[in-house]
Structure 1
């Protein structure tokens, strides 16, 4: 059975992405990107949850609002014991993935089964785990999604028996990047053999960096659609390209260098996924917090506190009472927004924020997109933490963003 989207789903995604007329080249690209977002884009999330939780300072009484994406961070926030998590996403596939993870945490037999499903995500036994323990506890829409067939004719849930992290736009993009590397005589997996940051850097400089200087690679990345697999719409492409003196090539080289040699490999599961297409083997290795054995009971116990909805974050906040949210995670969504959309979002954030509430987000370029675009009367109610933002950005192991940003709501009299 194929899940049929309601027109409102497509309209909401178009509203987030489309800025130009269909007859323009940019407008056409925006519509192609919007169509791609109706399916799975991010099989996993590329924001560091350790940095997030440090910035958010989550308390047991907190209500946290976040964009779901692949829901890795939604699940990891549960280890900090918030009172409630409200996750939103415009992609029905992302909502279905988040609900699958929540049901799995609550109903799989234990951590080993949960790890098989979401750490390895390539075992045939995962289908039996789904059918026996997860499927009966899914709502009808989510069950229809995972029981439905993909373009190959196989059940979508079968991706967890074939390598889930190689699926979705991002997963396929990384696969293509590996293929391109091999065309240039580079196997990215070899980086994972390096046993020090110094050797990682030497490997990058000798093997990976020259690829960025090749004429064919420059030609490929000059096409805005070539980076749709990274979840980068046309508007964000321009921001990313403008963040380096030598344009998109410079921005991609800088971020790949940081991912490859900015942190020891033993501490960076993002590098293992990018260069090895998997999480590291072994017991005491770097994993997302929600996949660590020591955190499984907390994730299981707190999973019922999460509500995931297919909606825009602005619309969801508009329906909430004033002063009812303590923390907000916007990922990089603001890079996509028009001035009006930014202002509407921050008006709702400001209305719903408790005194001392925290907002975090990331950007393709280093600067915050808010000054000059969101009314000063709104921004004046927030303290922007410049030094903390810079320091937290340096700690982000995913290494793919130009900026990390933290705002804290001033007192209730502001």
Structure 2
């Protein structure tokens, strides 16, 4: 006669990875669209999916993909917006597992989400205004607002066009993060007596098919006598701040000088980042140039910021600099243990290495702060095995004897390697 041992598991673990498959689909596919034949690609019988109670496990992630066990296929469960899911991160992918029981198995699935050209370049403002002295020298620079295109690759912003180009030409500066700083350069002296007001159109164009664009008007008022532009003491400033730093923390201070006197030499500072989160996180004192933290940082979401700061004098001349802010990681997340699958009962005749429970460990911290080790109490006929990163399985370590012990209460303890842990 076979007897069974009743198990009470307080925190559970994970099984061996038997396979992995990847797919690539475009964003914005309609609900119910086919992603792939998972049964065929994994070499499984559709009957195995049904009898094994096959299901999708995505941890804390939102479920965009669903499994049709009858057909053995993966389908779109919810429309996927690549920009909302991944922002400008590439490649963009959804990761999940297919879990089966009797026997326990799981397969890792990666679905890459490719970009389509569904966003046009956009300026934060419909128009900007400059007040420029007619004495401004040829070569004077005027920092312009950048456009933002949420698409990536060739579908994102590629170039700018400035029209008309009688007095000004456009100059682009490639940045390390792939963006372009835009400057308007004076190539022909202004004459207030001929043109007191000048209207230009700055058009941003992407590289998608069909091509999309956005336009901003540049309105210029020509004034007299401001012949020196502000100049920053350095083009790039650097600072660092802990992710748990309080609001108001000073990150760094920028400084520019202007050779003009009195009102024409008075400088004001401003942040020019558009349509991103920089201005929700930082502010610059318009008089002193102090850059302060105004929001809550999270190293796990964003590790560095590039702040574009403009110095502008009363005559409308400008200079620009970059402030690179690195976010310092703190051990502010504890490991989170997730049940994946479990067996509440087991036969005393079960062989050693029989999988009882599968768990998934998640710690969003980085580096040593995110490394997690798990263990169970000793002197029990079970052992905890690490099957892959962040996955564990609880298996039998020796023969079971119901007469000796008919139930076990097993506690799994997990701790990260941060200081303090």
Report TM bin, short chain. Answer: under 0.3
Instruction: Pick the structure with more helix per residue.
Output: 1
TM-score by length of structure 1 reads 0.21
Tell which structure's C-alpha radius of gyration is larger: 2
TM-score by length of structure 2 reads 0.21
